[in-house]
Structure 1
Amino acid sequence: MKLLSLVERKKEKQIKKYIVENKESLYRFAYSYVKNKDDALDIVHDAVCKSLVNINTLKNIDSIKSWIYQIVSNCAIDYIRKNKKYVAISDDLQEEKAIGYDTYEDIDLQEALERLPEKYRIVIVLRYFEDMKIGDIAQILNENENTIKTRLYNGLSKLKIDLIDEEE
């Protein structure tokens, strides 16, 4: 076991505090990748472990949110690659409500979001459900800000078309 410097101990304390205060958001983000409760919990667990092991890679404590979300994103992608599957949604809405995780008021919206390709859905979830800025989303996904803006615009357009089609 390596000894942590004073700076690293302070970072560790802040990381732990952030994780505890935002565990539901981190879970929802992981869930948006795999659509499975247990897999999402495993991903968050792996991300927490990696964040604590790699404290030295956090250069600025003010960017802790985007740093942790990037770790969760990378863990989710690794999980999907490792399992060579994309788990289809198996939990029904009643189970989600009973657990108390994020539920959408509009079931049509939730279903339309689930039908979106992942690259659009992730950006929309981070922007509107996790209230992140475009710059933070770009950093998390290792993409250019203009790419994120384009995906957001295209994803919202697809979402709008899908919701309009459902109304008719």
Structure 2
Amino acid sequence: MEDAQLVQDFRGGNHQAFNTLVTRWQDRIHHFAYRFFASSDDAAEITQKTFIKAYQKLDTLDDVNKFGSWLYTIANNLCLDELKRAGRKRATSYEALKVAPQTETATPADGTVLRNEGLVLLHKALLQLPVDQRVVVIMKEYEGLTFREIAEILNEPENTVKSRLYYGLSALKKTFDSWNINKEVFDYE
């Protein structure tokens, strides 16, 4: 069943339809918030608040075919509100994302170790981006949204979104270059 039909069913009194929407979308919203904050606790809180707000405001959604974009808008706004509320430039301290040293049993060929190190480094680099670039990089590269969807979610022109992606990816490359990290760190099996 399509999201639009589930929204219509919920509006018609079928509360199970909303539970289906939550099940369908909660992992995506959680991943978005996790990439934004690099904190499981913050991501869980944002995910919960997103669905509470969606439940309360679903009757205000004008175009039921845009439920996903609308949900990302809520999640993004809650992430930005959390940054403002906490008065912090970045969501997590870089120290909280330290790479655990390799043990003697872990070899460079160990895909799990390399994958974990790569993810930690990626989160550290994302946290260094300005928020407007970070959110576009996350939405485009990790959530797989189109430029049009991102522009709609952020209420920005598509060219602005494209520009932010370009500058965000360029900044990530510069960060990785300054850390002497090359592509192979992220090419693991």
Aligned-residue CA RMSD (Å) = 2.8
- Contact 1:27 1:44 survives alignment (8 Å): yes
Unpaired stretches in structure 1, ≥5 consecutive residues: 95-102
- Contact 2:133 2:167 survives alignment (8 Å): yes
Alignment of 1:84 with 2:84, yes or no, is no
Q: Displacement, 1:11?
A: 8.6
Q: Displacement, 1:134?
A: 0.6
Paired-residue identity, %: 28
Q: TM-score, normalised by structure 1?
A: 0.77
Alignment of 1:52 with 2:65, yes or no, is no
Q: Which residues of 2 match residues 13-92 of structure 1 at below 5 A?
A: 15-85=18-88, 86-89=90-93, 90=96
CA distance in 2, matches of 1:70, 1:118: 15
Unpaired stretches in structure 2, ≥5 consecutive residues: 1-7, 101-114, 182-189
- Contact 1:36 1:91 survives alignment (8 Å): no
Q: Displacement, 1:104?
A: 6.4
* CA spacing shift, 1:83–1:111, aligned 2, 3 Å: closer
CA distance in 1, matches of 2:62, 2:15: 12
Deviates most, 33-42 or 44-53: 33-42
CA distance in 2, matches of 1:167, 1:80: 30
- Contact 2:36 2:138 survives alignment (8 Å): no
Q: Structure 2 counterpart of 1:139, which letter? A: E
* CA spacing shift, 1:45–1:135, aligned 2, 3 Å: same
Q: Displacement, 1:24?
A: 1.9
Alignment of 1:150 with 2:166, yes or no, is no
Q: For 1:30, what is the secondary structure of its paired residue? A: helix
Q: For 2:174, what is the secondary structure of its paired residue? A: helix
